[in-house]
Amino acid sequence: MDFGRQKRTAVFALIGALVCSTAIGALQMAVAYVERLPRFFYQESPGKKYLPLQFFLPARHDISFLSQKTGVPYYRDLQQAQYVLAPALIEEGNAADWVIASDFTPAEISAIQKKAGLRVAQKFPDAVWLLRKDVR
C-alpha cells in the first residue's frame, strides 16, 4: 500500500519537474526571440528629446519650430514637440519670441542667430536648441 503511494508521489514529482523544465525552456526561447526583434518594435516614448524644454519655456507662450529635417521626419518632430510641450502653441518658422531648433550644428545655429536676431537660451542633448529673440 505504501509502495503505491510512493509510486504516485514519484510520478507527480516527475511530471512537475517536466512541466517546470518545459516552462523555463519556453521562457528562455521567448526572451531570446524578443532580444532579436528590431528596435522599432519597442521604441522609447515619442518626443523624449523635447521633454527638458518644459522647464525652460514660459507657460502659455507661442513657440516657433525649426528643423534641419524635411518632409515626414520634419513633421514627425514638429508633432512630437507639440505633443510634449502642450498646451504651448508650436508653429513652423521663427516668428515667435521662443524658437526650438532641432538637428542643427553649432555653426548653423550661429548663422540662424545672426539672420533672425536670436540668441541661444539653452542647448539640450540630441541636437535640440532653445533660442530666444534678442531683445536689447
Residue 28's CB is within 10 A of a number of other CB atoms, namely: 10
Q: What is the dihedral of CA 122, 123, 124, 125, to 10 degrees?
A: -170
Q: Which are the contacts of 49, defined by CB distance < 8 A and separation ≥ 6?
A: 80, 102, 124, 125, 126, 128
pLDDT per residue, tens digit, the chain (136 aa), is: 566 788 888 888 888 888 888 888 888 877 777 666 655 555 566 778 888 888 888 777 789 999 989 999 999 999 999 888 888 888 898 888 899 999 999 999 999 999 888 999 999 988 899 999 876 6
Q: Is the pTM of this model over 0.85?
A: no
Residue type, 132: R
Q: Cell numbers 519556453 label which residue?
A: 26
How far apart CA 94 and CA 113 sit, in angstroms, is: 10
Would you state the pLDDT for residue 96?
A: 86
Give Cα 123 distance to the centre of its chain: 18
